[in-house]
Every structure is written in structure tokens, then in C-alpha cells.
Amino acid sequence: MKIRSDDLLLIIDVQNDFCPGGALAVADGDAVVPVINRLATQFDHVVLTQDWHPVGHGSFASSHPGAAPFSSVTMPYGPQTLWPDHCIQGTSGAAFHPQLVTDKAELVIRKGFRGAIDSYSAFFENDRATPTGLAGYLRERGLKRVVMAGLATDYCVNYSALDARRLGFETAVVMAGCRAIDLQGSLAVATEGMRAAGVTLLDDIA
């Protein structure tokens, strides 16, 4: 893929809690950091997302007495996987990985800060209707293609990619810069769904 001036590199949730040793660690999650740092040098436009939950967020298993992490409940907006407490506002777990180079970021989109609703996508809360404002930002900047990397492939990257396509943006995911949680085969489901939606899955960008 040839990188264009109207491309955006969208770096998703490369935060301490999603890396080894974190509260919701993705296996080998920190391996995305050098790949993403290399990618960032190639793009004119870079945006970061940051999971940013208040204490007692509704997606935390600890907010549902007797519920176990990774079980599921029904919320007003649909099924919700319950997670260990993670990426709590202002904590070291919510901070970006210390080796992630963030200097080129033109914008940081914080998501999941509404206590009653989770937010996987960089574009919408999990009700699929409440926008983060990223789509409007991209359109006002004249950015037409979104290239994504980060954590985790089968959740926040997947939801962001599907929404980018739904909103009419050309979309690619750099798989070398992603790692998955892979709950009950969720990675295979996600990759199949992204391909079906017209997302380009790239091994890497040299």
C-alpha cells in the first residue's frame, strides 16, 4: 500500500492495562509498540485513542455483584462482555505504553468515559449511535483513508474498522501492529467480518 497525504494512522488503545502486566493484558500486546512507532514516521496525520473509564464503570465485572470477568450481561444497548477493572481515568494503567512515541499525534480521542455505556470503537459508543466526533474531524481535515493498528484486534480495532467503513472511509488494518484477546474464537470472527465489510487487512507496511 502506498501511503497518501489524505491517510490517517489511527493508533488504538496502546495503554499499559492492555499490555503484559496490565489489568486486561493482551498476550504479546507490547509487541505492537515498535511496529506502530515505525508506522507513525511514515504518516502525515496520526490520531490516538485512549480507553478512559471512570471508577465503577458499567462494563466492569466488579460493578455487577456475583458476575465473573469475561462473562456477559445485557445492557440497555445490547450484550456486554464484563471486563476486569481497567484503564481507570488518571491511573498508570490508563496511560499510554511508555515506549509508544506519541509526538506526532494531532488528536487524542478518549472513549468509555460515560459510566453507563462501554465504547470499543474510535467512532461510536457501543450503542452504535453516540459519536465520538472523530468522523467529523476526519471530514473537516479532508482525510479519506484510515489505517489502523493497536489493541485489541478483535474488539476496539475491529469495531473501529467496521464503523470507519460504515461511515464511508477507506479502511485498512495493519495486522503486524495489532494483537488480539481472542475470546472463544473472536479473532477469526472479527477478521472475517472486517474483510466482508471491505476492510483491507495488511500484514505490514514496509
**What letters, b where the CB count within 10 A reaches 16 and e where it falls short, cover 113-132?**
ebeebbbbbbbbbbeeeeeb
Catalytic option among 19, 87, 156, 178:
156
* Torsion angle of C-alpha atoms 20, 192, 126, 57, degrees rounded to 10: -20
Q: How far apart are CA 104 and CA 48, in angstroms?
A: 10
Task: Please confirm, yes or no, whether 44 is among the known catalytic residues.
Answer: no
C-alpha cell recorded at residue 35: 511496529
| 111 among known catalytic residues | yes
Q: Is 127 a catalytic residue?
A: no
Please identify which of the residues 30, 111, 118, 178 carries the catalytic annotation. Answer: 111
Q: Which residues does residue 75 pair with via DSSP β-bridges, in sequence order?
A: 78
Q: Which of 13, 30, 118, 154 is catalytic?
A: 13
Query: Which letter does DSSP use for residue 169 in this model?
Result: -
- The helix (run of H) or strand (run of E) holding residue 26 is none
**Catalytic residue IDs:** 13, 111, 156
